[in-house]
Amino acid sequence: MPAGPRLADLAPDQRLRRLELTVIRRLDGLLHGQYRGLLPGPGSEPAGSREYRPGEDEVRRMDWAVTARTTVPHVREVDADRELTTWLLVDASASMEFGTAELDKRELSVAAVAAVGFLTAGVGNRLGALLVASTGLRRFPAHSGRTHLLGLLRALLAAPRTGDRGEPLEPPDLADALASVQRVATRRGLVVVVSDFLDGLPDDPDRPPPWERSLRRLTARHQVLAVEVTDPRELELPDVGLITLVDPETGRRREVCTSDRRLRERYAAAAAAQREQVRLALRRSGATHLSLRTDRDWCADIARHVQSQRRMAAVPAGAARGGTR
């Protein structure tokens, strides 16, 4: 039986329909529950206080008034929010146009946005977005409803690519874009950042990326999900002889002989170190990390991530204290 057309080969409306059906059929049934979402968490509505549990509770949830009255450390307890506001920060810079599998990184980021949108949809829930492109930072106000979500996805699919423009423009820094999210996300909620997180990554792995501080500020107030998008050719080079590599951000070119085994090994080691640098920065920031690759089943990766997060959230307090550290 011949294979159907690839997602990237379909017209925009056909792609949106395919994405919606994929999310509903493959994810909606797996991620069932009273309040669907990608980051099961405590919410933000106050619901009293309890004693602080070292190693389990976050210091930022300390209830200092009760602690002062009782002289025993207490933390605030909260009820789950009944309405959720989700803000998306979608990286559509030149480096996100790369891809060697069925989807390129830009198309995979749209698939991730579709999953977030359809899975967090509900009565009263709202979705807003900021798109980081070479033409500037574009904002989509937070609204609810399927029509709004489909309009947002169409805009992401139609965002200009490098080949569509004349003179290259300097895209906003990821750090500045994160600061913009903080300004518009005034109500506690969910923030999803979709990027390859390569922007400004320093050569020295001991130095933090320029966007780490801005991301940490977001996690102090919101639940933050960092969706890291990668392609297999960014992680290792195939043995295909002489090739020309082009930096999508600067246009610089370099010829590389991939037949050199030692060069391929150095490339793979440097790429692995770079991804570890991103992973550690996201961890220090306090964001939840979801890694998606263009050559893998993104639906299965999202389902595994959410189920893992829910299992962790369901671990009893006593069991958490008794575990290893």
Domains and CATH numbers, the chain: 45-79 (no CATH), 83-296 (3.40.50.410)
Q: Mean pLDDT, to the nearest integer, of 261-267?
A: 93
CA dist 165 → 90, 161, 162, 218, 301 (Å) = 19, 7, 6, 32, 34
User: What percent of the chain is predicted at pLDDT more than 70?
Assistant: 80
What number of CA atoms fall less than 13 Å from residue 59's CA on the CB side?
Answer: 1
> Considering only CA atoms, which of 188, 248, 184 is closest in space to residue 219?
188
- CB-count exposure of residue 242 (10 Å: 0-12, 13-18, 19+): exposed
The pLDDT score that the predictor gives to residue 286 is: 94
Q: Mean pLDDT, to the nearest integer, of 9-31?
A: 75
pLDDT of 312 above 80: no
The pLDDT score that the predictor gives to residue 74 is: 84
Of residues 47 and 244, more confidently modeled: 244
Question: How would you label 160-184 residue by residue, b for 16+ Cβ within 10 Å and e otherwise?
Answer: ebeeeeeeeeebbbbbebbbbbbee
Structural contact between residues 248 and 162, judged by C-beta atoms closer than 8 angstroms: yes
Structural contact between residues 192 and 87, judged by C-beta atoms closer than 8 angstroms: yes
CA dist 106 → 49, 94, 133, 201 (Å) = 44, 9, 11, 19
Q: Mean pLDDT, to the nearest integer, of 296-320?
A: 75
Structural contact between residues 113 and 153, judged by C-beta atoms closer than 8 angstroms: yes
pLDDT of 56 above 80: no
> Quick one: pLDDT band at residue 26, thresholds 50, 70, 90?
confident
The pLDDT score that the predictor gives to residue 12 is: 72
Of residues 116 and 2, more confidently modeled: 116
The pLDDT score that the predictor gives to residue 273 is: 94
- Min mean pLDDT across 190-194, 294-298, 302-306, 315-319 is at 315-319
pLDDT of 317 above 50: no
The pLDDT score that the predictor gives to residue 29 is: 58
> Identity (one letter) of the amino acid at 245?
L
The pLDDT score that the predictor gives to residue 131 is: 94
Tokens standing for residue 22: 């994929």
The pLDDT score that the predictor gives to residue 34 is: 41
Tokens standing for residue 269: 């080691």
The 10s digit of each residue's pLDDT in 79-110 is 444 578 899 999 998 889 888 888 899 999 99
The pLDDT score that the predictor gives to residue 164 is: 54
pLDDT of 1 above 70: no
The pLDDT score that the predictor gives to residue 146 is: 87
Averaged confidence pLDDT in the chain? 82
Strands 126-133 and 136-143, bridge-based pairing: antiparallel
The pLDDT score that the predictor gives to residue 36 is: 46
The pLDDT score that the predictor gives to residue 80 is: 47
